[in-house]
Structure 1
């Protein structure tokens, strides 16, 4: 390589996910798919470990349609039908991803189950499902991918979970779900500290408002709630901002989507939804 001596000031590196490999739990639709498509625009590779192999009446998209969209968007794609609760399937997903793309740079813990029932009304089967997918699944996917992340110079673990807010309101409203989501956040907190010296970043990302996804429509308030939500692209753009940062300088954070974008100079959020005063504040955020 020829050295350029015309200037003593090097140009800043272009931030991009080009050539990097992302392994994501879920991602057939909603926020996960939006993150994957944003990465695909850079030319990233995205492997999706998701359960939806066939179309469902109330759910748009499958892991296969998502993979096709990623390829159409400019990225490499690998569709893996599997369950993040299954140790063997997760190990196989990690192995398939590394074999197909030569390694793993990013893990995105996107898969999550939700049930906002009170303690008395929450079936233990639903409680176990939330703990197994949300907390255990996030721990397992990150743990299993660690040998490959350790070989990357741009290693990130990004978990879609909220700040650890100990306001009793949240546990008091839906204890089972709160335990499951805060468990995901504890994965971030612990891994950030444990992996700091290895240069592997661990961060969480959470939306300021509800996001227009199938979960919001089907479980939280129908079309009326969707109308008061921002689009998934705000989370995708915020995730891109985080994942293109130096992992040695960006770890242990509980990011909120609009704060990430504001730090990047993006203050006009009208493209993501209506006026802020008309939007629904998301769970786990006070006021």
Structure 2
């Protein structure tokens, strides 16, 4: 296990939710966080901006660089990477967290939403990984972590939301490919996904209120920390579930992560009960 002190993390979508939780977990050890997210001005539907996240990261003990980035545009990603490297001297970890959601059937999925999911989820993951790669290769313990599910081609995971599933599985396929291709450089490339529904603002927007029977983003942050502090040359090509990662470290009580004390959290969309 290594410390994240002094490590630099490039996190997409880090202004709120799981991305911000991972950033704050790393910040508590003195990490540097490049907040690469779109929201620079308050949005009434989605609380939090890159600037409020930066203040929280500083308060937690880390360093933050807030950069307004739409990862659909490679020029914006390249600019954020350049600013981050100039500020912190390099990039050690990339978290591909930003994602668009559209849990709708094929007839109900607009082409605009389809393109958004493919551009952010798939293209965005590819662009960020490609542009961070030269800097990751210079790191002593480089990691890429993508928030995408294990691949299962059972039709039940496609019914009623084929476009969204396709976009998330494409992210997982990139994990599979990068893990093999980047192994020679010692870069650990892994996917992380929640076993249960995670309470986020994006979920509330996508599912009209989300789920009360859920866990907080902190469970994903704690699982991410366990993976990112391991030797990147020994841990790559895995599709982790947050609960399983923590159980392997000896955690048996997950009650502190519940949004409703005493409740039974709902199993996530891509996980069998």
Report the TM-score, using the length of structure 2 for normalisation: 0.97
Superposed CA deviations along residues 140-173 of structure 1, whole A, max 9, x for unmatched, are 1011010000000110000001001111111122
Determine the structure 1 residue equivalent to 2:272. 286
Q: Does structure 2 retain, via aligned residues, the 8 Å contact 1:15–1:244?
A: yes
CA deviations over 1:121-140 (Å, ceiling 9, x no partner) = 11111000000000110011
Alignment correspondent of 1:267: 252
Unaligned 5+ runs, structure 1 = 1-13
Does 1:94 find its partner at 2:94? no
Q: Number of aligned residue pairs: give it.
A: 272
- DSSP 3-state at the match of 2:270: coil
Q: Provide the secondary structure at the position in 2 that maps to 1:107.
A: strand
Equivalent position of 1:38 in the other structure: 25
- For residue 231 of structure 1, report the CA deviation from its aligned partner: 0.5
Structure with max Cα Rg:
1
Q: Distance in 2 between matches of 1:234 and 1:258?
A: 8
Please report how far the alpha carbon of residue 278 of structure 1 lies from its aligned counterpart in structure 2 after TM superposition: 1.9
TM-score normalised by length of structure 1: 0.92
CA distance in 2, matches of 1:277, 1:193: 40
Instruction: Detail structure 1 runs of 4+ shifted over 4 Å in the superposition.
Output: 274-277
| 8 Å contact from structure 1 (residues 165, 285) kept in 2 | no
> 1:236 corresponds to which residue?
221
How far 1:221 sits from its partner (Å)? 4.5
**RMSD after superposition:** 1.3
- The 5-angstrom pairing of residues 15-94 of structure 1 reads 15-94=2-81
Aligned counterparts of 2:197 and 2:170: Cα–Cα separation in 1: 20
- Alpha-carbon distance in structure 1 between the residues aligned to 2:77 and 2:224: 23
Change over 3 Å in CA distance of 1:169–1:195 after alignment to 2 = same
Deviation at 1:183, TM superposition (A): 0.9
Q: 1 CA distance for matches of 2:190 and 2:119? A: 20
- Tell me how far apart the structure 2 counterparts of residues 55 and 67 of structure 1 sit (CA, whole Å): 14
Aligned-partner Cα distance in 2 for 1:145–1:119: 34
Out of 211, 216, 219, the position equivalent to 2:206 is 219
Contact 1:231 1:272 in 2 (8 A): yes
Q: Which moved more, 1:38-47 or 1:15-24?
A: 15-24
